[in-house]
Structure 1
Amino acid sequence: MNTRLSDYPAVVFAAQEPPCLSVYQKTHRRHPDNQQDPIRFRNLVKKLDEALAGKYPKRMIESLLRPYYDLAEDHRFWNHTLDGIAVLGAPGMFKIYNLQEDVKDIAVVSDSFYTKPLVRIFQSHERYQVLSLTRNEIRLYEGTKNSLDEVPLAKGVPRTMVEALGDRITSPHQTVASYGGTKGPAMHHGHGAKKDEDEIDAERFFRIVDKSILERHSQRSRLPLVLAALPENQGVFRQVSQNPWLTENGIVMNPDALGNGALQEKAWSVVEPQIRERTAAMLDDYAEAHAANLASEDIEHIAAAAAAGKVSALFIDNDARIRGALDRQTGDITPDVSGEPAAGELLDDIGELVLQKGGSVRVVPSDVMPSRTGIAATFRF
C-alpha cells in the first residue's frame, strides 16, 4: 500500500488529470496517541469533499474519495504509521507515503498535487539507509537523525540466501546420518560441510544482494548506505560491492544483536561525520562560486535563474518560509495575498522548479545555510 518516498519525483514531474487531491497529516507511532489519527484523517477528507462539491459530478467525487474513506477504516494501517503521512489521489491514481517526519495537517484540491512537504523531506541532507546483512538474511532500513525504520524490499531483491540462490546452493544443510544398521559405517548424506563451499555461497549471495540493492534502492534514493555486518561479512561484501553509495565505514558487529534504537545510534555515528564533510564541501563550492559571480542569495535573481535552467545547486533553509506566487515560465514573483494554507511557499516552488530543470536541491538546517535569506544558489553559467 505504501509508496516509497524515493518514487515521489514521478508524482512531482508527471502530468496528472485534475482534480488532484493532497492530504498531509501528522501521525503517531504508538498507542494511545494514534487512536485519534483516523478521526483527524476523516475530518481532512471531509474538507476534500467540501472543496469538490458543486464543482464535479457526484459520481466522480464518490470515486475520488472512496480510497480515502477506505483508508480511514483500515485499522491495520493506522496501527503501523510513523510520524506523518501524505496521501495523493486523482482520477485513476492513489498513493500513500508513510513519512519519518511530522507534517502539518492540510487538505488541498487543485489542478496539481501539493508536493512541497514531500520535496522538503526527500531533499533533507540527513537521510540515509542501513543494510543489515548476515549470511542467511538481509534487511534494509531508512533513517534520519532521530529515527530508523525498516523499509520493504523492492520486488526482485532477495531477503534470504535460499531466495537468492535456490537449488544452486552448494553448501549442505543436512547432518551426518548412519546407514546399513547399527554396525554399518557412518555415511555423509549430502555434499559435506566444507568451509570453502560456505564461502562460495556467501560471496554469490552478497553479489546478488549488492546488485539488487543498487539497482532497486540506492540508484533511486541516492542515499548513503551503511553496512551492518560481522567483520568477515563486511570484508566479503565490500570486495564484491559495486555500490558507490556504500559508506567507507560501517557497523562492524552482528546486526541481529542490536535493537532498533542501538542500530540507529550506531548508524548515525557513522553517517554524521560524512554529512558534516559533505556539507562543508558544498559550502566551499558555494563560496568559490560566489567569488566568481556564479552564486546568489537574492530570491528574485534565483527564481529567474531557476526558470531559465541556470541553477546548478540550490540550498533551502529548513526553517524558512516565504509566501508568494512563482511564475514558472519567467521566474517572476508575486507577493501572496490569498491566505490559502497550501499556496505561495516560494522556496519550495523554486526547489521543485530546479529539480524539474535538472538541478540539485538540498534542504539544510539554519546553522549551515550560506545565506540569511533562506535560499542560496550556484549557477551553471
Structure 2
Amino acid sequence: MTDSKENESPETHAPMLQWRDINALTLADESPCVTIYVPTTPVSNYREENRILYKDQVKKVGEALEQRDMDKYERDALLEQLESVGANEVFWTHQQYGLAVFASSKRFTVRRMMTSPAEAQGIVADSFHLRPALRAASNWMDYQVLCVSVQDVALYDANQDAIVEVDLHSDVPRGMGDALGKPDTSPNRKDSESAGSNSTDLKNYFKEVDKAIRAYHGNTIRPLVLAAVAEHQGLYREVSEHPNLLENGLDHDPFEAIRQSNLGEQAWQIAERATRDNIEQIIDRYNERAAHKEGASALEDVAYSATIGQIDTLLIDETARVEGSVDGNGRIEYGAAGDGYTDDVLDKIAEFVIASDGDVKFVPGNMMPTDTGVAAVLRYAMEPET
C-alpha cells in the first residue's frame, strides 16, 4: 500500500462529499478499486442498522477480492482499512443520507452524502463506481448558506431536503474579533444594535470572511445564500467578490434560525428560484450555442467532445441510463454493462467532463432541452464533417 491517503483516520466524523472528490476519483489509474455505498440516516436510533448494512458490503467486497489475483498483503490491508470505518460507535451518530467509501492502493476516501444511494453496494472493479456519487455531487437543487454575524460565521451545504454544516477551514474567521484581532465584540449585543457602530470594522471583517470562504470553500458552482441581519446584507455585498452570491438573502439573525432548526426551510425559499434560474440559464445558453454549432445533443458527438475536453457544461437527465461505456477516444461500446450497474455511458461522459474542469448537472427529464438524455454547451464549435 502506498501512503497517499485522503482519509487517514475516519474514526468519528466523515467529511461531506464534494466536487473535488469526484474529480480526484475520475483520475484514478490504479486497480483494483473498491467502492461501497450505504443508505444512512441522520436519526441516531438507526445507527446499528447503518453499521450492519455497511459490514455486509465489506463482507461482499472481501469475497470479491478473494477471486482476484492479487497480493495477499495488499488484499488484507484494503480490508483492514474498510473494517476501520465506523469502528467507533460515535461515527454512526454523525451520518446524513448516504455513506460512500472509496479504497485502493493509492487512496482511502470516506464521505457522507446529502442524497441517499438507491441501494447498498459493494463493488470491486478496475475503476471506481461513481454513479451515486456523481448524482450526489451534481444535484441541480444544491446550494450553500453562509451565516454571518458579528460573533460567529458558519457555512452549510444544502438542498431541498437536507442541510449540513461544513467544517470550516481554520483560517476562516469565527467572528469580528477573530478577524480583526479585537477580542471584545460585545457578544451579548444583537447584530442590529451594532450594525452602524463602526462600518469600517464591519467592512474589513466581511472582506476577511468573503476572502476566506472563496479561498477554502469556493470550489463550487452552487448558489450562495447570505444569511445575516438586514443591516449587514448590503454592506457584505458591497465588499464581496463571491461569484455565486445571490442578490436576495435571508435577512434576519441566522443563528436564531439554526437554534430553531428552520434555517434550511427558510433558505430554500430563496434558493429554489435561484437553482431553477441557474438551470434555465444553462438551457438558454445551450439553445443559443447549438444554433452556432457550439452545442451538442447526439450521444456520439457528446461522448467524443467529452474526451477531448470540449464541453464547458453538461446537462444529463437524472433518470436516464444507457448501458455501455466510452473509451479514451470517445467511442461508445453499447451494452457492455455485465452486472447492470457498473457501466453507464452517461456516467462515463460525465467523468470525462469533470476531469477536464467542465460542469455537470443532473436534472429532471422534463427540464431537459433535448430527448437524448444529454445537452452539452461546448467551449468551441464542433468541426464540420468531411
TM-score range, shorter chain: 0.7 to 0.9
Distance 1:288 1:222, change over 3 A: closer
Q: What is aligned with 1:78?
A: 92
In structure 2, how many angstroms separate the alpha carbons of the residues matched to 1:172 and 1:148? 29
CA contact (8 A) 1:319 1:366 kept: yes
In structure 2, how many angstroms separate the alpha carbons of the residues matched to 1:285 and 1:173? 47
Q: What is aligned with 2:122?
A: 107
**2:161 corresponds to which of 146, 149, 156:** 146
Distance 1:217 1:82, change over 3 A: same
Q: What is aligned with 1:178?
A: none
- 1:147-162 equivalences under 5 Å are 147-162=162-177
- Secondary structure at the aligned position of 1:266 is classed as helix
Shift of 1:20: 1.8
Shift of 1:141: 0.6
Q: What is aligned with 1:35?
A: 48
CA contact (8 A) 2:323 2:344 kept: yes
Deviates more, 1:39-48 or 1:149-158: 149-158
CA contact (8 A) 1:320 1:374 kept: yes
Deviates more, 1:220-229 or 1:107-116: 107-116
CA contact (8 A) 1:135 1:233 kept: no
CA contact (8 A) 1:133 1:229 kept: yes
CA offsets, 1:171-212, max 9 Å, x none? 6899xxxxxxxxxxxxxxxxxxx9977544433322211110
Deviates more, 1:104-113 or 1:361-370: 104-113
Q: Do residues 68 (structure 1) and 77 (structure 2) align?
A: no
**How many pairs does the alignment contain?**
360
Shift of 1:130: 0.4
In structure 2, how many angstroms separate the alpha carbons of the residues matched to 1:3 and 1:16? 24
Shift of 1:378: 3.2
Q: Displaced runs of 4+ in structure 1, greater than 6 A? A: 170-174, 194-197
Over the aligned positions, Cα root-mean-square deviation in angstroms equals 2.5
Q: What is aligned with 1:94?
A: 108
Q: What is aligned with 2:31?
A: 18
Distance 1:35 1:307, change over 3 A: same
CA offsets, 1:50-99, max 9 Å, x none? 11115223222221122221213221111110000111112252111110
Larger radius of gyration: 1
CA offsets, 1:209-236, max 9 Å, x none? 1110111112x12321111111122233
CA contact (8 A) 1:3 1:95 kept: no
- 1:212-231 equivalences under 5 Å are 212-218=212-218, 220-231=219-230
Letter in 1 for 2:84: D
* Percent sequence identity over aligned pairs: 30
Shift of 1:170: 7.3
Letter in 2 for 1:376: A
Shift of 1:146: 1.4
Letter in 1 for 2:371: R
Q: When the two structures are superposed, what TM-score results if normalisation uses the length of structure 1?
A: 0.86
Q: Do residues 49 (structure 1) and 62 (structure 2) align?
A: yes
In structure 1, how many angstroms separate the alpha carbons of the residues matched to 2:35 and 2:112? 14
Distance 1:336 1:232, change over 3 A: same
Q: What is aligned with 1:203?
A: 203
Q: What is aligned with 2:4?
A: none
Shift of 1:30: 0.7
Q: When the two structures are superposed, what TM-score results if normalisation uses the length of structure 2?
A: 0.85
CA contact (8 A) 2:316 2:360 kept: yes
In structure 2, how many angstroms separate the alpha carbons of the residues matched to 1:195 and 1:336? 62
